[in-house]
Structure 1
Amino acid sequence: MLVDTTSAPVNENPARPRWVGVGMPLLAGAAVAGGLALLHFRDPHAEGSYGFCPFYELTGLWCPGCGGLRGLHNLTDGRILDAVHSNILIVPLLLGFAVWWGSWLVRGWRGETIPRLPQVLPKKALWITLALLLIYTVVRNTPWGSWLAPV
């Protein structure tokens, strides 16, 4: 009997189901949706409702995230301008997160091999973002940048 050595090799790793690739992105999306639901129904405008900002308590300065919970709450109520008044970074950060999450979901659906939590930004962009956050923090804590302080 002759053995055919020209046949294609057997695929030992068959394609995984699509739901496996989207599992982590959907889990992350569900966690974010749960957090937004909590913010919608429990108003962070009431003092002490979510505790306190440790950075503000220790230094008396506004961190780049101060006003973020109030801004997210305002967005869940559909008040975009109030959200921007709470923290001007909330809308661009949310849009960036939505793009990142959507990319993660699509790549998982396509079956691409991705880490459990994909890299958000290239290193150079990450350093630029951190520098901008530092500048934003300094400016919002000066008298001429007081309009950036959370309302």
Structure 2
Amino acid sequence: MVGGLTMLFLGFAYIYKQYDPETSAWFPKCPMKSLTGLDCPGCGSQRALHQLLNGHLKEAFQQNALLIPFIPYLTLGYGYRFIKNPNARILKWRKILFGESAIKVLIVVILLYSIYRNVG
């Protein structure tokens, strides 16, 4: 199963590296942006991913600043799934980074970012 997910991930990475979502009509558009004209917290993520995969960090940050720190954060969270028999230190950090309090902080950060990008 991990091999299949890896192949799927690599396939998506290839597509996003080769094709610019801003100019390719077949990438999905944000429903919130289409309906309300407002940017959701994820707006620009496809364009940012394209820029990242092509080595343009500044442009990626301009498209969606939240994506840059979220990629390593989500990768770490996914990686925790594969640790067999985690020790107390790993369990402590997993709780700190992905526990209930961390989720509440993430929700606040995402909401504030969404407000900022629509007001600013």
Instruction: Establish whether TM, by shorter chain, passes 0.5.
Output: yes
More helix by share: 2
* Cα pair distance change 1:125/1:29, threshold 3 Å: farther
CA distance in 2, matches of 1:124, 1:111: 24
Q: Which has the higher contact order (CA 8 A, sep 6+)?
A: 1
Q: How does 1:29-44 map to 2 (within 5 A)?
A: 29-44=6-21
1:46 counterpart = 2:34: no
CA distance in 2, matches of 1:70, 1:51: 11
Of 108, 117, 120 in structure 2, the residue corresponding to residue 140 of structure 1 is 117
5+ long unaligned stretches in structure 2: 87-94
Aligned twin of 2:69: 92
Amino acid at match of 1:141: N
Does the 8 Å CA contact 2:61/2:68 hold for their aligned counterparts?
yes
Does the 8 Å CA contact 2:43/2:64 hold for their aligned counterparts?
yes
* Cα pair distance change 1:28/1:124, threshold 3 Å: farther
Does the 8 Å CA contact 1:43/1:49 hold for their aligned counterparts?
no
CA distance in 1, matches of 2:113, 2:56: 23
Of 21, 43, 58 in structure 2, the residue corresponding to residue 66 of structure 1 is 43
CA distance in 2, matches of 1:29, 1:86: 26
1:80 counterpart = 2:41: no
Does the 8 Å CA contact 2:77/2:98 hold for their aligned counterparts?
no
CA distance in 2, matches of 1:66, 1:39: 15
Does the 8 Å CA contact 2:20/2:50 hold for their aligned counterparts?
yes
Could you list the structure 1 runs, at least 4 aligned residues long, displaced by more than 3 angstroms after superposition. Answer: 26-30
CA distance in 1, matches of 2:59, 2:49: 10
CA distance in 1, matches of 2:100, 2:11: 30
CA distance in 2, matches of 1:44, 1:131: 28
Describe the SS at the equivalent of 1:141.
helix
Q: Percent identity?
A: 27
Does the 8 Å CA contact 1:45/1:70 hold for their aligned counterparts?
yes
* Cα pair distance change 1:100/1:29, threshold 3 Å: farther
Summarize deviations over 1:64-118 as a string: whole Å, max 9, x none. 000100000011111111111111111101111222233323x1xx477xxxxxx
5+ long unaligned stretches in structure 1: 1-22, 113-118, 146-151
Please tell me whether Structure 1 or Structure 2 has the larger radius of gyration of its CA atoms.
Answer: 1
